[in-house]
A and B are shown apart, each in its own frame.
Chain A
Amino acid sequence: MTTAESKASVARRVGLFVTCLVDLYRPSVGFAAVKLLQEAGCTVEVPAAQTCCGQPAYNSGDRADAQAIARQVIAAFEPFEHVVVPSGSCAGMIHSHYPALFDDDALWRARAERLAARTHELVAFLVDVCGMTRVAASWRGLVTYHDSCSGLRELGVKNQPRQLLDSIAGLKRTELPGAEICCGFGGTFCVKYPEISDKMVSEKTADIAATGADLVLAGDMGCLLNIAGKLSREGRPVVARHVAEVLAGIDDTPPIGAPRR
């Protein structure tokens, strides 16, 4: 048995942290994540007590509220051996920031560290932990991929989505110049500093359009709402989806922000 196969043969129990943006905006991404995790041999549960990872409070300097929210997340998810998140920024919050949030509380810090060690971004989990090398889905078209900052820099999500996308027959992928440059979302940044954010997202959409791709993908709904909203305001033909939708072959929902049939 190869390492990939031996990885795949283990049945993993996953708690899905669906994230507030997926929950509110685009459940398809949540279902795509479930489908992919099952394809990788996991059993998936969705604890009802989940809400938000606490990043908005944390990045606004509101440690108290961030801690309160984090305690809730830790309690809801610590029964699971793996916590998987279809978002680099939310996974990064739990993985990279929860421990530091409890610097002054040894007990919660230990619980946070345990949870952090078991929390993964979706595609990184599929490839690095489950050993997935290809997906069953099919998809046609020319796509390009934007690296969400947190996933890239906090969690090392870079090759995994590309690898899985490249395994889809009929799907062509072109590399996005400046893929690693921030799209300008940044949580409240995009509404507090709208002109600067607009400049950043305009450069991003120009880069995307220049690739000739008809579809741009990313692993974070924040980036995607931002990019999709700009693409449609600019009247560009390129559309946007979460990478999980393509990897799971879910195409019965329109792209983000696109008209419904």
Chain B
Amino acid sequence: MHTPTSHAFKDNARRALGDPQLQQAMSHVKKNFIEKRAKAAARLPEFEALRDAARSIKDHTLANLDIYLEAYEAKVKEAGGHVHWCADAESARQTVLRLCRAAKARTVTKGKSMIGEEIAINDFLEENGITPVETDLGEYIIQLRHELPSHIIAPAIHLTKEQVADAFREAHTDLDPNRPLTEPRDMLAEARAKLRDRFLKADVGITGANFLIAETGSSVIVTNEGNGDLTQILPRVHIVLASLEKVVPTLEDASTILRVLARSATGQEMSVYTTFSTGPRRADDADGPDEYHVVLLDNGRSKMLGSEFAEALRCIRCGACLNHCPVYQAVGGHAYGWVYSGPIGAVLNPALIGVEEAGDLPNASTFCGRCESVCPMRIPLPKMMRHWREREFERHLTPPRHRLGLKLWAFLATHPALYRLTASLAARLLGALGGKRGRFAALPLAQGWTAHRDMPAPEGRSFQSLWAAGNRNAGKQP
């Protein structure tokens, strides 16, 4: 089980900043994700309107979530599938185990699933004698390295190709140790060959779901590799892991949201494989699974639904917020310490694992707003991070020194005469101390600042004192 390290965010971040390999890997994010998304958005004139439409669909669905989930369940059953409602991670794990045991599963292939990470299903299956095999290339790599994904759609983005090669050499011991493994091409070919065998032999295939369609009882996966498809059509049993908020009413609704998903994620017009699966194989189908199970997971979603964090349930896991966040770019995904990273992680992780554990995350933001500006579902991420800060303040989780500072400042700010006096004195004092140099290299109580920057000195008089003294033009000297 991956124990969260969100509480150690500051240490994680420090280490990440000092990690040259990580910094090199993260430097790719700007060029690849940011520029590509911008191009794709610019190319589609209706892009902004589609974001609004996508948002409306999700808002409507969430306001009627129980109704649509029941409708969805009915269609799944009609198609010969099963829906398993799970309130929490533990019951989801047990359900998956039960299904795998019933299928006498020895190996299980997995398409990429953030829910799978959330419930730590891989470790659990292994503990119970079943071998899970990640098939998404990025997930496969991090599975070999026993790591969490560091990005919602590019799990191995934090790694250099040398690190990938090392992981392959260590794991694929049956291959010639002297084989060339310097180019991504070689590594991809090796992974493809290795995983092809696992695909064909798997007893159970587990996928996530980008969408669940109430109209038809379908689950939708979106991939570029095709691994999700091989995972779900080859084994005897197909298990879908999906959280409650994945449901949308109709095929048209899914089509609308699909238009903003790939464009926001990778800048593609459409991902290579978008697959709608409905139930097990039909009587005369040539291939496909015999059984189809949907594990429908709450794990904190219903609680979020009734809270000021409900809008985060619109998330379609595109990763755009991560890609555009300067904090994420600086420290990478692992620093956030749990399954979700970047701005969405800063909002979700406290909701799912508690604000005592993940409280740093919504604080490690300048509220620059870039995330919200690119979110296809228009989730007001900074606003929700602020709500977490409010919760922390109410519960006195804010450091006492900070609270004291705020109280002092608020007192001054609500007593204008005292404020003016204080500002005037401070301007004079700091202005004088700043002297000819005009700046401070060090300042008591301001170590956080002066460790990395000089502190400019004030001009030496406060504006209000000058104005009160009759100055009406520029021209005040220290």
Contact = CB atoms under 8 A, between A and B. Distances in A.
In the complex they form, whether A and B have CB atoms below 8 Å apart is answered with yes
A20 B423 contact: yes
A6 interface: no
B406 interface: yes
B456 A25 contact: yes
B187 interface: no
Interface in B430-478: 435-439, 441, 446, 448-449, 451-459, 461-464, 466-468, 471-476, 478
Nearest to B388: A61
A149 B403 CA distance: 26
A109 B214 CA distance: 40
A149 B366 contact: yes
B398 A60 contact: yes
Interface stretch (B175-183, B265-273, B389-397): B389-397
Nearest to A256: B456
B452 A233 contact: yes
Main SS class of interface, B:
helix
Interface in B242-282: none
A203 B326 CA distance: 10
B20 interface: no
Nearest to A180: B370
B63 to A, nearest CB: 20
B128 interface: no
B367 interface: yes
Given A61-B390, A182-B370, A229-B455, A27 B436 contact: no
B459 A27 contact: yes
A51 B414 contact: yes
Contacts of B406: 56-57, 60, 62, 65
Nearest to A69: B413
Contacts of B458: 24-26
Interface stretch (A114-122, A191-199, A211-219): A191-199
B456 A229 contact: yes
A219 B468 CA distance: 25
A46 B468 CA distance: 9
Contact of B446 (A185, A191, A257): A191
Contact of B366 (A46, A50, A154, A185): A185
Given A28-B459, A60-B393, A154-B369, A34 B14 contact: no
Main SS class of interface, A:
helix
B17 interface: yes
B386 interface: yes
A250 interface: yes
B30 to A, nearest CB: 9
Contact of B367 (A31, A48, A186): A186
Contact of A65 (B370, B372, B410, B456): B410
Contact of A196 (B330, B388, B402): B330
B115 interface: no
Interface residues of A, number: 76
B168 interface: no
A257 B366 contact: no
B368 A182 contact: yes
Contacts of B368: 149, 153, 181-182, 186
A218 B365 CA distance: 20
Interface residues of B, number: 74
Given A30-B463, A229-B456, A260 B448 contact: no
Interface string A169-181: 0000000000011
Given A61-B398, A68-B410, A191 B416 contact: no
A218 B413 CA distance: 25
A46 B467 contact: yes
Given A51-B419, A149-B368, A230 B389 contact: no
Interface string A40-75: 000000101111101011111111010011001000
Nearest to A44: B472
Given A35-B474, A230-B453, A50 B437 contact: no
Contacts of A253: 459, 474
A232 B440 CA distance: 10
Contacts of B310: none
A69 B414 contact: yes
Contact of A230 (B372, B407, B452): B452
B331 interface: yes
B410 A229 contact: no
Contacts of B409: 52, 56-57
A237 to B, nearest CB: 15
A79 interface: no
Nearest to A258: B438
Contact of B456 (A153, A154, A252, A257): A257
A228 interface: yes
B426 interface: yes
A130 B423 CA distance: 32
B454 A257 contact: yes
Interface in B1-39: 10, 13-14, 17
B416 A48 contact: yes
Contacts of A69: 410, 413-414
Given A24-B462, A232-B439, A260-B478, A184 B413 contact: no
A187 B365 CA distance: 10
A225 B455 contact: yes
10 contacts: A25-B458, A27-B462, A27-B466, A50-B464, A57-B406, A58-B386, A186-B366, A188-B402, A196-B17, A258-B438
What 8 A-B pairs come out closest when comparing CB atoms? A186-B366, A257-B456, A191-B448, A61-B389, A229-B453, A61-B393, A182-B368, A65-B410
Given A230-B453, A259-B437, 20 more contacts: A23-B423, A24-B426, A30-B467, A31-B471, A46-B464, A51-B413, A58-B386, A61-B386, A61-B390, A61-B393, A149-B367, A149-B370, A182-B366, A184-B326, A195-B17, A196-B17, A196-B327, A197-B452, A200-B327, A230-B454
